[in-house]
Structure 1
Amino acid sequence: MIKVFMLVMIRIDTTDNNILFDRAVRRAIIVDITIPHDDNMVKAEKEKVSKYLDLVHEITAMWNVESTVIVPIVVSVNCLLTKSFDQHLKKLSLGYWIKGRIQKARIVRRFFTL
């Protein structure tokens, strides 16, 4: 279970991103959420990881943590999830119950924008 000791919002390319710091194990987790079209899900996930590679090294050195992990949360426009979604939930120490809630939130949001 991750105990969030510090949540930092950073701004990169006009988007806000969350960084969770777990001081107990000296680990930082960069969480970035994106909602691409169904055809671009794998591409979007790879772009999110490559976008933060330089930042990972900076955070590790600047905040004196042992490791920094990038967790891209990718939910498509039609509520599809990537194959690696379960692995990302494990990195965040979240249960699998959250998958249904994320998909439900996306469906409700889509309904309100119609």
Structure 2
Amino acid sequence: MVLVDRSVRRAIIVDITIPHDDNLMKAGKEKLSKYLDLAHEITTMWNVESTVVIPIVVTVKGLLAKSFDQHLKKLSLGCWIKGRIQKAVVLETARIVRRFLTLEL
């Protein structure tokens, strides 16, 4: 998702990923490096002063990276949304598991 704030001439690339618990830190770093070239290209193409990449990483069990709160602040979102994001991810994981288990019976 790309957000553009024309008042301050800044673009924000938001990438949401839901990896397995073992890949929490790896996924965040991977997303930052993956979008670096795109960020430079957006800065020149759209004539903005800067482009920021914000990875939103929540594991399938609802674990969050330490940098999650900082990323929410960059998006001007309060910490109240953190619990809702975790709840949505855990409920979707449970739904997928339930669907899989009904196929096995």
Over residues 31-52 of structure 1, what are the superposed CA-to-partner deviations in whole Å (9 max), with x where a residue is unaligned? 0001111111100000000001
2:54 is the alignment partner of 1:71: yes
Q: Provide the secondary structure at the position in 2 that maps to 1:112.
A: helix
The residue that corresponds to 1:53 in the other structure is: 36
After the TM superposition, which parts of structure 1 deviate over 4 Å for at least 4 consecutive aligned residues?
Answer: none
When the two structures are superposed, what TM-score results if normalisation uses the length of structure 1?
Answer: 0.83
> In the alignment, does 2:24 pair up with 1:41?
yes
Give the strand-richer structure, 1 or 2: 1
Q: 1:90 is matched with which residue?
A: 73
1:39-79 residue CA offsets vs partner (Å, 9 max, x unmatched): 11100000000001111110000001011000000000110
Structure with the larger RCO, 1 or 2 (CA within 8 Å, 6+ apart): 2
Secondary structure, counterpart of 1:58 in structure 2: helix
What residue ranges of structure 1 are gaps of 5+ in the alignment?
Answer: 1-17
The percentage of counterpart residues that share the same residue type is 73
The structural deviation recorded for 1:112 is 1.6
**Larger helix proportion, structure 1 or 2?**
2
Query: How large is the Cα RMSD of the aligned pairs?
Result: 0.7
Matched, 1:106 2:93: no
Aligned residue in 2 for 1:28:
11
How many equivalent pairs are there? 97
The DSSP-based 3-state class of the residue aligned with 2:53 is strand
Distance 2:74 2:55 in 1: 11
